[in-house]
Structure 1
Amino acid sequence: MTKNIAAVVLDKKAVNILDRAFVEDAWLQKFEVPQNADGLRRVESSDIVYLLSEDADLDDGYLVINTAVFSPLQELSKPRIAFERIIRVALRHFDRSIAIPIPWQAYHSGSRLSVFAQAARDSKQRIYFDQSPDGSGNLYSFAVTSNPEDLDGVPKDEDLYKRAVEGICDALLADSPLAPPVGNFGVLLSEPLGVRLAGSGTLSEWYEQRLNREQRAFVDRPHDRPVRLRGAAGTGKTQSMVVKCLHDMYADPDSDKTFAFLTHSSALAHTVVRGMLHALDPNERWTSMMTPSGRPKLWIGTIYELAQEKLGYDKKGLEPLSLDGREGREYQRVLIEEAINQVLVSPEIVMDHFPGCQDFEKRLTNRANDPSLIDELMNEFACVLDLEAIKKDTHEANRYARGSREPWQMVLPTEAHRRVVLEIHDVYRAKLRLAKMLGMDQMIADFGRYLGTHEWGALRERDGFDLVFVDEYHYFTRAEAMLLHNLFKPRAQVSGRWPLLMAYDIKQGTNDVALSGSMEKFRNPGVGESALSELKQVYRSTPQITAFLRDLDACFPAMDLEGEYATYVAESQQEEGDTPTLTVFATDLELVDSVFEQAIRMARDIDGGGSQVAVLCLNETLFDKIYSAGRVRDKFVPITTREDLKELRYARNKCVFSMPEFVAGLQFHTVFLIHVDGADYDEDQGQGTRRRYVSRVYLGASRAARKILLLSSKEHGGPSQLLDTLLANQTLRLR
Structure 2
Amino acid sequence: MPDLNIAIEENAARIIARSPVSESFFKSFTLCEPNSGLASVTLGNTIFVLCRNSKLEGRFIVINGARCALSNAKPNSYDPFERIITLAISKFENDVSLPVKWGLYTDGGKRGSFFAYTAAKGSGARIFYEDRFNGGQHIYVYAINSKNIEFSNVVIEKVPYDEFNNNIVDAFIKYESLDFKKKDFDGLVEIEPPSNVIGHGWSLEEWVDRRLTNAQRIFLNKDYSQSVRLRGAAGTGKTISLIVKFLRDFISFEADHKNIRMLFLTHSKVTADLVKDLIHQLDKEDARGRAMFASAKVATIFEIASDFVQREQRGVSPIDIDAYSGRIMQRELVESIITSARLTLATQFADESSPDFINRMLTDEPAAKDRFLYEVMNEIMAVLDAEGIRSGNSKATDYINAPRPEWMVSLEKSGERKILLDIHRRYREQLREMRVISVDQLVADFVSFLSSNVWDNLMEREGYDALFVDELHLFTPLERMALKPLMRQTGVFGGRQPMFMAYDLKQTTRDYFSSLVTDGKSTSSWIGRTADGSDLVELNEVFRFTPQIAHCIADMAVSFAEVEFLDQMDRHIGESLVDDGDVPELREFNTNQKMYEWAFAYAHGRASSLGSGRRVCIICMNEILYAVYRDAGRHSGEFISIESREDLNGIRYAGKRFIYSSPEFVSGLQFDDVIVIHADRRTVDENDLGPLRRRRNLSRLYLAASRASKRLTFCASLELGGISPIFTTAIAKHTIHLAG
TM-score (structure 1 length as normaliser): 0.90
Which residue of structure 1 lines up, in the alignment, with residue 520 of structure 2? Answer: none
Which residue of structure 1 lines up, in the alignment, with residue 364 of structure 2? Answer: 367
- Asked if the contact 2:673–2:711 (Cα under 8 Å) also holds between the matched residues in 1, the reply is yes
Which residue of structure 1 lines up, in the alignment, with residue 335 of structure 2? Answer: 337
- Is 1:693 aligned to 2:697, yes or no? yes
SS in 2 for 1:189: coil
TM-fit CA distance, 1:309:
2.5
CA distance in 2, matches of 1:581, 1:140: 53
Structure 1 residue runs without a partner (length 5+): none
Deviations 1:335-393 (A, max 9, x none): 3233224443336x534455531112112212334243323333333333333333334
CA distance in 1, matches of 2:9, 2:595: 49
- Asked if the contact 2:507–2:703 (Cα under 8 Å) also holds between the matched residues in 1, the reply is yes
Which residue of structure 2 lines up, in the alignment, with residue 47 of structure 1? Answer: 45
* TM-aligned CA distance change 1:314 to 1:67, over 3 Å: farther
TM-fit CA distance, 1:325:
8.3
SS in 2 for 1:223: coil
- Asked if the contact 1:234–1:539 (Cα under 8 Å) also holds between the matched residues in 2, the reply is yes
Which residue of structure 2 lines up, in the alignment, with residue 227 of structure 1? Answer: 228
SS in 2 for 1:8: strand
CA distance in 2, matches of 1:440, 1:35: 41
- Is 1:249 aligned to 2:276, yes or no? no
* TM-aligned CA distance change 1:25 to 1:389, over 3 Å: farther
CA distance in 1, matches of 2:476, 2:713: 33
Instruction: For 2:298, give the aligned amino acid.
Output: I
CA distance in 2, matches of 1:54, 1:533: 40
Which residue of structure 1 lines up, in the alignment, with residue 154 of structure 2? Answer: 154
SS in 2 for 1:276: helix
- Is 1:534 aligned to 2:538, yes or no? yes
* TM-aligned CA distance change 1:84 to 1:477, over 3 Å: same
* TM-aligned CA distance change 1:103 to 1:202, over 3 Å: same
Which residue of structure 1 lines up, in the alignment, with residue 290 of structure 2? Answer: 289
TM-fit CA distance, 1:141:
1.0
- Is 1:94 aligned to 2:92, yes or no? yes
- Asked if the contact 1:112–1:128 (Cα under 8 Å) also holds between the matched residues in 2, the reply is yes
Instruction: For 1:234, give the aligned amino acid.
Output: G
Which residue of structure 2 lines up, in the alignment, with residue 19 of structure 1? Answer: 17
Query: After the TM superposition, which of the residue ranges 454-463 and 229-238 deviates more from structure 2?
Result: 454-463
Which residue of structure 2 lines up, in the alignment, with residue 490 of structure 1? Answer: 489
Which residue of structure 2 lines up, in the alignment, with residue 33 of structure 1? Answer: 31
CA distance in 2, matches of 1:278, 1:687: 42
Which residue of structure 2 lines up, in the alignment, with residue 480 of structure 1? Answer: 479
Which residue of structure 2 lines up, in the alignment, with residue 166 of structure 1? Answer: 166
TM-fit CA distance, 1:416:
4.1
Which residue of structure 2 lines up, in the alignment, with residue 435 of structure 1? Answer: 434
SS in 2 for 1:85: helix
TM-fit CA distance, 1:128:
1.4
- Is 1:68 aligned to 2:66, yes or no? yes
- Is 1:723 aligned to 2:720, yes or no? no
- Asked if the contact 2:514–2:692 (Cα under 8 Å) also holds between the matched residues in 1, the reply is no
Which residue of structure 1 lines up, in the alignment, with residue 600 of structure 2? Answer: 596
SS in 2 for 1:208: helix
Deviations 1:104-133 (A, max 9, x none): 233332111222212226543221111111
1:82 to 71, 77, 80: 80
1:523 to 512, 524, 528: 528
SS in 2 for 1:634: coil
SS in 1 for 2:422: helix
CA distance in 2, matches of 1:211, 1:726: 31
- Asked if the contact 1:106–1:314 (Cα under 8 Å) also holds between the matched residues in 2, the reply is no
1:265 to 264, 268, 275: 268
CA distance in 1, matches of 2:423, 2:198: 43
CA distance in 2, matches of 1:132, 1:569: 51
Which residue of structure 1 lines up, in the alignment, with residue 511 of structure 2? Answer: 512
Alignment of 1:224-623 (within 5 A): 224-253=225-254, 254-270=257-273, 272-281=274-283, 283-292=284-293, 297-312=295-310, 316-322=314-320, 331-346=329-344, 350-369=347-366, 370=368, 371-401=370-400, 409-492=408-491, 497-517=496-516, 522-525=527-530, 528-556=532-560, 558=562, 566-606=570-610, 609-623=612-626
TM-fit CA distance, 1:78:
5.9
SS in 2 for 1:638: strand
Deviations 1:401-449 (A, max 9, x none): 5556566654444444444333323322222222222101111222223
TM-fit CA distance, 1:610:
2.1
SS in 2 for 1:490: coil
TM-fit CA distance, 1:550:
1.7
SS in 2 for 1:624: helix
CA distance in 1, matches of 2:327, 2:217: 39
Instruction: For 2:51, give the aligned amino acid.
Output: S
SS in 2 for 1:174: helix
* TM-aligned CA distance change 1:531 to 1:690, over 3 Å: same
- Asked if the contact 1:261–1:298 (Cα under 8 Å) also holds between the matched residues in 2, the reply is yes
SS in 2 for 1:68: helix
* TM-aligned CA distance change 1:315 to 1:20, over 3 Å: farther
- Is 1:130 aligned to 2:161, yes or no? no
Instruction: For 2:264, give the aligned amino acid.
Output: F
* Count of residues paired in the alignment: 724
TM-fit CA distance, 1:604:
3.9
Q: CA RMSD in A?
A: 3.0
1:625 to 581, 605, 628: 628
CA distance in 2, matches of 1:561, 1:310: 36
CA distance in 2, matches of 1:498, 1:177: 51
CA distance in 2, matches of 1:102, 1:500: 29
- Asked if the contact 1:635–1:655 (Cα under 8 Å) also holds between the matched residues in 2, the reply is yes
* TM-aligned CA distance change 1:183 to 1:285, over 3 Å: closer
TM-fit CA distance, 1:248:
0.8
CA distance in 2, matches of 1:465, 1:355: 50
CA distance in 2, matches of 1:397, 1:566: 38
* TM-aligned CA distance change 1:397 to 1:266, over 3 Å: same
TM-fit CA distance, 1:25:
5.6
TM-fit CA distance, 1:35:
5.7
- Asked if the contact 2:268–2:324 (Cα under 8 Å) also holds between the matched residues in 1, the reply is no
* TM-aligned CA distance change 1:661 to 1:318, over 3 Å: same
- Asked if the contact 1:28–1:70 (Cα under 8 Å) also holds between the matched residues in 2, the reply is no
- Is 1:192 aligned to 2:183, yes or no? no
SS in 2 for 1:322: coil
* TM-aligned CA distance change 1:556 to 1:127, over 3 Å: same
Which residue of structure 1 lines up, in the alignment, with residue 641 of structure 2? Answer: 638
- Asked if the contact 1:325–1:662 (Cα under 8 Å) also holds between the matched residues in 2, the reply is no
- Is 1:666 aligned to 2:669, yes or no? yes
TM-fit CA distance, 1:699:
0.8
* TM-aligned CA distance change 1:313 to 1:107, over 3 Å: farther
* TM-aligned CA distance change 1:395 to 1:538, over 3 Å: farther
- Asked if the contact 2:676–2:704 (Cα under 8 Å) also holds between the matched residues in 1, the reply is yes
SS in 2 for 1:709: strand
Deviations 1:6-41 (A, max 9, x none): 311111111112112323565334211146363022
* TM-aligned CA distance change 1:327 to 1:173, over 3 Å: same
Identity of aligned residues (%): 32
Deviations 1:277-333 (A, max 9, x none): 23434x2423413234xxx72111112112233334799443422395887556434
CA distance in 2, matches of 1:186, 1:71: 21
- Asked if the contact 1:666–1:703 (Cα under 8 Å) also holds between the matched residues in 2, the reply is yes
* TM-aligned CA distance change 1:439 to 1:528, over 3 Å: same
TM-score (structure 2 length as normaliser): 0.90
1:648 to 640, 647, 651: 651
CA distance in 1, matches of 2:467, 2:336: 41
Instruction: For 1:367, give the aligned amino acid.
Output: D
CA distance in 1, matches of 2:213, 2:131: 46
